[in-house]
Amino acid sequence: MSVPAQGSPVTVVVVDDSAVQRRFLRAAVEAEKDFTVVGEARNGKEAVALVARLRPTAVLMDLDLPVMSGIEAIERIMSGSPTPILVYSAFVAGTNSENALQALAAGAVDVLAKPGPDDTGSLDEYAAALRRKLRVAARVRVITHPRGRLRGSGMSGETPSLGGGIRRPLSAPPLEPLPADGPRDAVKLVAIGASTGGPQALLTLLSALPADLCQAVLVVQHMAEGFIPGLASWLDGLVPLPVVVGESGRRLVPGSVTIAPSGGNLLVQDNRLRVLCTPPEPGQFHIPGIDATFESVARALGPDALGILLTGMGRDGAAGLLAMRERGATTIGQDEATSAVYGMPAAAFALGAVEHQLPLPEIAPALLAALGRALA
Amino acid sequence: MPDAQDVTSPRPPRTLPPEAIAGLREAFAGEVASRLPRLQELLDGAPGPDSVRDAHALGSSAVVVGEPDASRTARALEAELGADVPDRERLAVLVRTLTDQLQGWT
């Protein structure tokens, strides 16, 4: 689908089995002049049909739906009529954060928890937050997600691989062939940054890394407070390497994946891979910050690190990846065709920070080649 | 249907047009009318196929119309229904409490 220009009308399909919620969402969305709710669905099956027929700019969807679950509906929409989906559900907060990760992995762009009885804000504030997220989601250029088709063929348990993107690849060809100067025997750390579309991309990338990897892997994923433990737990159950949330003062362990916690930045302090959690910088927009981590990796490890910047909106990570490249690290950026949002990797590419620009499925093989490993 | 009220958080929407707020309240009354009787059947028998969804929907919707106490009760009911072995006595207490809290909407 094409991305609406800034200021162009945003058409929305609302999906919820509760009439109260549908009315609330319609009123909340249409409080802004350029937003129009063009359709309402009461279950997942209706949603899939309605999105295919109306082709809205964005979808606002609950997860707990009758007839067809929200997760299955997301997969089918992303397979047949790719549309930015913002999940709005009571089942994504706190102990239910794994549902949020499942929704993001299925292709949803973002999640927002429904207000509960003990939340302190007004519903007007929720409505405003919802419109802000919807406006951002509506500008995401989504790609076809194959899992809905896999589900139909009985292969839904397999790790999804992105392919068949509906967006044209960047006109610039991939940069230098990889490995550029032979395997990097001394590489101790693989640092990965991701934002919108990141959980799905991380699953694809980390699933292809062997359990006996000799390097530590550090992941910085932009995510709202409270969702990182769910991300770690969700990935831990699906990828060969153990996945944990980073803690200040700990060391990164070779053969494991550490995810930066929410609430601040995770810095690598020295070449023994000790990490330090620091509060966010004043005015820092993305938390945890990818630039802060990548810059610390550049200082601590220089050429003994490898940096990967995946899909995401904005430009966080671009300057950090450049710092890594300038200190001699191998750097990889996800290409446009397989990025849910070609923002951060594009900014890095424009800065000259990307040594190798690759489609998502080719990043793990390239990474292992750079480490002198064959793909498992 | 009770009057729009000042309640503890989250506060009901104020900036929505009056007709939208009226529509929300009307829809909630309809939801109570359709879902609460199904939950009340728990007093006499086993949970039905829609019991958890009914409790969940009332829990989320009650917040929107400024009924946080009913929302808490509905969520507790939802959690109890989701337990491996729901406590029937507790289910009954929660259903009765929810019925009282939503009395003005029936």
Q: Does B85 touch chain A (CB under 8 A)?
A: no
Residue listed under structure tokens 């969702």: A227
Q: Are residues A323 and A224 in the same domain?
A: yes
ipTM of the complex: 0.84
Domains: count for chain A? 2
Kindly determine whether residue B64 and residue A66, on different chains, have CB atoms separated by under 8 Å.
no
- Which residues from chain A sit within 8 angstroms of residue B56, using beta carbons? 64, 90
User: Quick one: average pLDDT of A144-150?
Assistant: 52
Residues A242 and A121 in one domain: no
Pick from A21, A27, A28: which is nearest to B60 by CB?
Answer: A21
Closest-CA residue in chain A for B54?
A: A18
pLDDT tier at A143, thresholds 50, 70, 90? low
- pLDDT of residue A196 exceeding 90, the answer is no
Same-domain status, A223 and A337: yes
Range of A80's domain? 10-138
Confidence of residue A46 (pLDDT cuts 50, 70, 90): very high
What mean pLDDT, rounded, does chain A reach? 83
- Burial code (b: 16+ CB inside 10 Å, e: under 16) for A139-164 equals bbbbbbbbbbbbbeeeeeeeebbbee
Cα four-point dihedral sign A151, A156, A158, A160: positive
**From A56-70, A358-372, B46-60, the region with the lowest mean pLDDT:** B46-60
Of residues A370 and A99, the one with the higher pLDDT is: A370
Same domain, yes or no: A273 and A358: yes
Same domain, A15 and A127: yes
Does residue A28 lie in a domain region? Answer: yes
CB-CB neighbors (< 8 A) of A61 in chain B: none
pLDDT at A23: 93
If one compares A289 and B84, the residue with the highest pLDDT of the two is: A289
CB pairs under 8 A between A and B: 96
pLDDT band at A157 (very low <50, low <70, confident <90, very high): very low
Does the pLDDT at position A82 exceed 70? Answer: yes
Please state the rounded mean pLDDT for residues B68-84: 92
Residues A113, A199 within the same domain: no
Q: What is the pLDDT of residues A247-276, one digit of tens each?
A: 988 889 999 999 999 888 999 998 888 889
Say whether B56 and A64 touch across the interface (CB within 8 A). yes
**What pLDDT does A254 receive?**
93
B11 chain-A contacts, CB cut-off 8 A: 121-124
Cα separation of A19 and B18, whole Å?
A: 18
Residue A14 lies in a domain: yes
Average pLDDT over residues A218-246: 88
Q: Are residues A222 and A361 in the same domain?
A: yes
Which of A19, A118, A120 minimises the CB distance to B27? A19
DSSP conformational letter for B12? P
Q: Which residues contact A99 (CB under 8 A, 6 or more apart)?
A: A63, A71, A89, A91, A92
Residues of B whose CB is below 8 A from A124: 11, 13-16
C-alpha span between A351 and A29 (Å, rounded): 37
Supply the pLDDT for residue A137. 82
B6-51 confidence digits (pLDDT tens): 444 465 566 677 888 888 999 999 999 999 999 998 888 777 778 8
Q: Do A18 and B10 touch (CB under 8 A)?
A: no
Average pLDDT, chain B: 85
Give the model confidence (pLDDT) of A168-189 as tens digits. 223 333 444 444 444 555 899 9
Q: Residue B103 carries which side chain, given as an amino acid letter?
A: Q
Q: CA of B78, closest CA in chain A: separation in Å?
A: 12
Coil, helix or strand at residue B15 = coil
SS (H, E, C) chain A: CCCCCCCCCEEEEEECCCHHHHHHHHHHHCCCCCEEEEEEECCHHHHHHHHHHHCCCEEEECCCCCCCCHHHHHHHHHHHCCCCEEEEEHHHCHHHHHHHHHHHHHCCCEEEECCCCCCCCEHHHHHHHHHHHHHHHHCCCCCCCCHHHHHHCCCCCCCCCCCCCCCCCCCCCCCCCCCCCCCCCCCCEEEEEECCCHHHHHHHHHHCCCCCCCCEEEEEECCCCCCHHHHHHHHHCCCCCCEEECCCCCECCCCCEEECCCCCEEEECCCCCEEEEECCCCCCCCCCCHHHHHHHHHHHHHHHEEEEECCECCCCCHHHHHHHHHCCCEEEEECCCCCCCECHHHHHHHHCCCCEEECHHHHHHHHHHHCCCCCC
Domain match, A118 and A237 both: no
A116 vs B50: CA distance, rounded Å: 21
Given this model, what pLDDT does residue A153 score?
39
Residue A184 maps to a domain: no
CATH code assigned at A287: 3.40.50.180
Q: Which residue of A has its CA nearest to B20?
A: A27
Question: Looking at the domain assignment, is residue A278 inside a domain?
Answer: yes
Is A183 inside any structural domain?
no
Give the closest residue to A294 by CA, choosing from A282, A311, A306: A306
| Token duo for residue A46 | 């209706």
- Residues of A marked active site are found at 195, 222, 316
Between B1 and A72, residue with greater pLDDT? A72
Q: Are residues A101 and A196 in the same domain?
A: no
Share of residues in chain B with pLDDT > 90 (%): 48
